[in-house]
Amino acid sequence: MHIRDGILAPEVCLAAGAISLGAITYSLRRLRFDLEDRAVPLTGMMAAIVFAGQMVNFPLFGLPVSGHLLGGVLAAVMLGPWAGCLAISMVLIVQAVLFSDGGLMSLGANILNMAVVGAWGGYAVYATIRRILGNGAAATVSAAVIAAWLSVLGAAALFCAEFLCSSRSAGVDPRGVLSLMVLYHSLIGVGEALITGAVLSFVLARRGDLVPTPNAPGSVGTIGRFAATGLMAALAVAAIVAPFKSESPDGLDAAAQDLKFDKLEVERPALVLDDYAIPVAESAWWPALPVSLAGIVGTLVVFIAAVVLAGITRRNVVPIRVADGSHGN
Amino acid sequence: MGTSGIGSDTGSHSICHALPAGMKLLLTLGIILVAGLIPLEHWPAQGLLLALVFVGLSLAGVTMRYLVRRLALFLPLLLVFGLSVPMARSNDAAWSWTLSLWLRCTVSFMAGLWLVHVLPFRDLLTTLRYWHFPPALIAMLGFMYRYTFILWDELRRLRNARAARDFGGGPWWRVWSINSQVIGLLLLRAMERAERTHRAMLARGWDGSIRFLDGKDAG
């Protein structure tokens, strides 16, 4: 998930860094307004929670690798988009500087993809869905599940855009990388949605008062929220559709083929072949089909998860005392 | 501070540790930037950079074992990522792109490892303050660093308690559900702890403005 140094071009890193710096500055200003003097301890603690939560490994259906929480939407749901964005940014900073996990120069791009899209974008989706579904516990969980899924796909799409900008000058065809990334991220997105939903469901069942209502005054305006939600949805769709679209010939070529013009032009078929042929002849569609399938299956799984987790939450939300090993301090 | 020594001053004082913290940061960023700008035709320059970083790592006292272990975690992902371009369409441009990506990323990664090894977190905070980063952000980073080790210990206790009760088994959905509950419990306890910390800060005259002690105690 973390972009390493050397993958993106320096100028792309610089641009992403400038945007992230702006986002962090803006978040800091809004945070003082929202949380007042609690901002520092609460945000620091949220960053530590996300960081520690990422140490919990989730087995991936028998695969030798394991997944973990990303936490953008979870942090934003608990503390609002501004603190959420800062918390994830700090996690990324510490991971880069202390663990060499994710690049230093590409830190800006990482913050943009995960903190800004994850917390701001994810929160916009969450708040919009909650406005539609209401303020019940079940609505909260389903909104967070969907927002988490969209936030991961949005991050993947943004990475694709950054990667395209970086590799344009190199003159290579980045389709393979993009398909790989989207395929991988639709899996991560399902995991993130499941974990976010389950954690939130647990928190709501025990301390529902800790989860704030998103429509408080001083939060994002309606227009901004809808704009951000639309953007997130568009990004997610782009992530799934992009490899598929780029596989088929562009409009002109398709039209030429349809009208049999390509038979008339002598050099045209060669050109088409040169553009779209892949060494293994039958596999011209290989990245596209699994990617689209992954997108569709992922969406289905996420919506089922949203419904199931919402049901569980509705049943559990009566506060129950559990012997959870807490020291009671 | 915690059980883990990561990022804290490990007590090693090599020639690299003695450099000013800001210079360490700028040096690393510079190497990564140069590595990103060298085109493949000049691969000897890239190799030279790699050798330079390697010398830096040995000067900083990084053991070969640590380096190999970190690289073993890092290289497979990079290999797969780099290979996905020539696998989709193999030609000379794609292969040279992959080759230059591998070189670039390895140099940058090793430069990052060097920084991790020689820059204590406290020095990073001091440097960021010196560079006029927002004080609130630095204070939050300091808080986060402090809490992280506490929460790791808390997490270890939760895991121990879990392992003592369920013997670590079960199908994947059960493991997922239990792990989510562990994170949820961690979140609840940590939020309550943050509230307590905030009240304790208020009791000591916290008014939302950040003050630093002089010298190295900013974190």
Q: What percent of chain A has pLDDT over 70?
A: 68
Provide the 3-class DSSP secondary structure of residue B60. coil
pLDDT mean over A255-270:
42
Angle between helices A72-79 and A175-207 (to 10 degrees): 40
**Sole residue written with tokens 């032009």:** A265
8-state DSSP, A56: S
Beta bridge partners of A67: A58
pLDDT band at A263 (very low <50, low <70, confident <90, very high): very low
Q: Which of A117, A137, A149 is nearest to A207 (CA)?
A: A137
Structure tokens at A246: 């780029």
Confidence of residue A144 (pLDDT cuts 50, 70, 90): very high
- Whether the Cβ atoms of residue A70 and residue A192 lie closer than 8 Å to each other: yes
- Pull the structure tokens for residue B1: 């501070």
> What's the pLDDT score for residue A24?
94
Distance CA A27, CA A9 (A): 27
Residue A61 in domain: yes
B7: left (phi over 0), alpha (psi -120 to 50) or beta: left
Q: Does residue A199 carry a pLDDT above 70? A: yes
Position A32 in a domain: yes
Closest-CA residue in chain B for A4? B105
Kindly state the average pLDDT of the residues A33-60.
Answer: 85
Evaluate if residue A111 carries a pLDDT over 90.
yes
Q: Which residues of B fall within a CB distance of 8 Å from A25?
A: 134
| Domain contains A265 | no
Once rounded to an integer, what is the mean pLDDT over residues A54-77?
A: 81
Tally of structural domains, chain A: 1
Domain ranges of chain B: 21-119, 133-203
Give the confidence band of A247 by pLDDT, cuts at 50, 70, 90. very low
B182 contacts in chain A (CB < 8 Å): 56
B148·A52 Cβ contact <8 A: yes
More confident residue, A269 or A308: A308
pLDDT at A268: 37
- Interface touch B85/A171, C-beta < 8 Å: no
Task: Examine the pLDDT at A303 and tell me if it is beyond 70.
Answer: yes
What is the rounded end-to-end Cα distance, in angstroms, of chain B? 12
User: Which residue did the predictor score with more confidence, B145 or A62?
Assistant: B145
Under the banding of pLDDT at 50, 70 and 90, the label for residue A274 is very low
High-pLDDT (> 90) share of chain A, %: 25
What lies within 8 Å, CB to CB, of B68 at 6+ separation is none
Region A30-55 average pLDDT:
85
Query: How confident is the model at residue A156, as a pLDDT?
Result: 87
Gap between the Cα atoms of B73 and B76, Å rounded: 7
In three-state secondary structure terms, A66 is strand
- Chain A residues close to B111, C-beta within 8 Å: 5
CATH of the domain at A212: 1.10.1760.20
Q: What is the pLDDT of residue A269?
A: 38
A155 in Cβ contact with A88 (< 8 Å): no
Stretch A140-167: mean pLDDT? 88
What is the structure's pLDDT at B189?
A: 92
How far, in Å, CA of B214 to CA of B216, rounded?
A: 7
pLDDT at A242: 57
Please give the residue of chain B at the shortest CA–CA distance from A42. Answer: B194
Summarize the confidence of residues A230-246 as an average pLDDT.
64
| pLDDT(A30) > 60 | yes
**Any idea which of A46-50, A268-272, B28-32, B82-86 has the lowest mean pLDDT?**
A268-272
Domain of residue A54: give its range. Answer: 10-247+278-316
Of A48, A62, A287, the CB nearest to B151: A48
| Mutate: best of B140, B143, B160, partner A, most A CBs <10 A | B140
Provide the pLDDT for residue A168. Answer: 65
Matching residue, tokens 């020594």 = B5
Q: How many CB pairs under 8 A join A and B?
A: 250
Question: Given B144, B150, B179, which is nearest A90 (Cβ)?
Answer: B144
- Residues A29-53 have a mean pLDDT of 85
Token pair 């190999």 is at which residue? B68
pLDDT value of residue A202: 92
Q: pLDDT class for A230, splitting at 50, 70, 90? A: confident
Q: Which pLDDT score, from 0 to 100, does residue B90 have?
A: 66
Candidates A197, A104, A108, A183; CA nearest to A148 is A197
- For residue B210, the chain A residues in CB contact (below 8 A) are 40
Give CA angle at A89 (A299, B136), nearest 5°. 145
ipTM: 0.88
**Whether the predicted pLDDT of A325 surpasses 70:** no
pLDDT for the residue numbered A8: 87
Span B9-35, pLDDT tens digits:
455 667 788 888 888 999 999 999 998
Q: How far is CA A1 from the centre of its chain?
A: 10
Judging contacts by C-beta atoms under 8 Å, the chain A residues touching residue B172 are 59, 61-62
Q: Is residue A91 part of a domain?
A: yes
- B136/A47 CB distance under 8 A: no
| Residues in chain B, pLDDT under 50 | 1-9, 215-219
pLDDT at residue B88, as a whole number:
65
Cβ-defined contact of A103 to B198 (cutoff 8 Å): no
pLDDT of residue A119: 92
Contact check, Cβ <8 Å, B141/A177: no
Tokens of A121: 């974008």
Q: pLDDT band at A238, cuts 50/70/90?
A: low
CA-nearest residue of chain A to B136? A40
Q: Which of A58, A103, A200 sits opposite B176 (nearest CB)?
A: A58
pLDDT of A273 higher than 80: no
Q: Is residue A198 predicted with pLDDT exceeding 60?
A: yes
What is the per-residue pLDDT across A182-192, written as a single tens digit (0 to 9) for each?
Answer: 778 888 888 89
